[in-house]
């Protein structure tokens, strides 16, 4: 499985190596025939409210180097506009370095076997909290290992988002680049930091509205507006219920 994060109505950011290895395994086939995008689920086998999107194109970072395990990031463009709701939302990129010691969170499906089939993943989306370390600490941890070997041997779920809370909101700081064999390995995993790719990501993931189907865009906007209205109504209902319960307890 490959994971990623939503940037806007058309683009997903993920690990480049995952796509590169997939295309190499099935040469001559377009990515749209090898994979599709599933959004908004926290249960792997659930079929309730499934949202699937067709892949239109993909773009590797111009300096992506699989052999050297560098600039391991890619953008995937959907054919359809992504419908946002309370479970499907874009995330903002952190525009600067991650402060050392910051609390970061990573989510994926938690494969625990060397060669993970679908039944080897957790049924529910997994979350791991950790503290960001300095570059020197990172180099020390990775010094016994060959990064290129780690990328070759990475199996299971990759490309997942590394997130931190900054300015009161979740911001994307990295994508999973490698994890040796399984997530319970003693070998450290690594993430591709994104702040130093910010300019490339912003330029490549911009949406060109010159060929936009505005009827489709209006439908997406209406759906988003309807979701916001529903959330607001639910908030009002909860506040009224809390107020009523408080008044009853004081009576």
Domain ranges of the chain: 5-207, 213-250
Residue 183: predicted pLDDT: 53
- Taking residue 152's Cβ as centre, other Cβ atoms within 10 Å add up to 15
Query: Which residue bears the tokens 């997406």?
Result: 220
pLDDT in tens, 65-100: 988 778 999 999 999 999 998 889 999 999 889 999
CA distance 50 to 214: 25
- Taking residue 244's Cβ as centre, other Cβ atoms within 10 Å add up to 10
Residue 103: predicted pLDDT: 93
Residue 46: predicted pLDDT: 80
Residue 80: predicted pLDDT: 92
Residue 185: predicted pLDDT: 56
Give me the CATH topology for the region 5-207.
Thrombin, subunit H (2.40.10)
Residue 154, C-beta contacts closer than 8 angstroms, at least 6 positions apart: 17, 177, 178, 179, 180, 181
**What does the chain come to in residues?**
251
Residue 148: predicted pLDDT: 59
Instruction: Collect the ranges in the chain with pLDDT lower than 50.
Output: 152-153
Q: Is the pTM of this model over 0.95?
A: no
Residue 19: predicted pLDDT: 93
Query: Which residue bears the tokens 């994508």?
Result: 175
CB burial class (10 A; 0-12, 13-18, 19+) of residue 212?
exposed
């Amino acid at each position: 499985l490959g994971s990623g994060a939503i940037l806007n109505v058309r683009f997903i950011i993920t690990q480049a190596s995952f796509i590169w290895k997939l295309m190499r395994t099935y040469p001559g086939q377009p990515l749209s025939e090898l994979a599709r995008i599933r959004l908004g689920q926290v249960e792997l086998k659930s079929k309730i409210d499934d949202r699937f999107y067709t892949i239109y194109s993909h773009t590797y970072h111009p300096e992506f180097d699989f052999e050297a395990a560098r600039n391991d990031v890619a953008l995937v463009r959907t054919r359809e506009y992504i419908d946002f709701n309370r479970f499907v939302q874009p995330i903002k990129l952190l525009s600067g370095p991650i402060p050392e010691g910051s609390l970061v969170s990573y989510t994926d499906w938690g494969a625990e076997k060397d060669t993970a089939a679908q039944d080897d993943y957790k049924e529910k989306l997994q979350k791991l909290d950790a503290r960001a370390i300095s570059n020197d600490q990172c180099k020390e941890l990775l010094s016994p290992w060959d990064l290129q070997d780690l990328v070759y041997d990475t199996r299971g779920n990759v490309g997942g988002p590394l997130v931190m809370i900054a300015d009161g909101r979740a911001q994307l700081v990295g994508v999973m680049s490698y994890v040796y064999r399984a997530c319970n390995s003693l070998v450290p995993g690594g993430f591709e930091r994104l702040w130093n790719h910010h300019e490339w990501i912003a330029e490549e993931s911009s949406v060109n509205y010159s060929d936009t189907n505005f009827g489709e865009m209006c439908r997406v906007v209406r759906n988003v507006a309807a979701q916001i209205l529903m959330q607001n109504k639910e908030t009002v209902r909860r506040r009224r219920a809390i107020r009523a319960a408080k008044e009853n307890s004081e009576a």
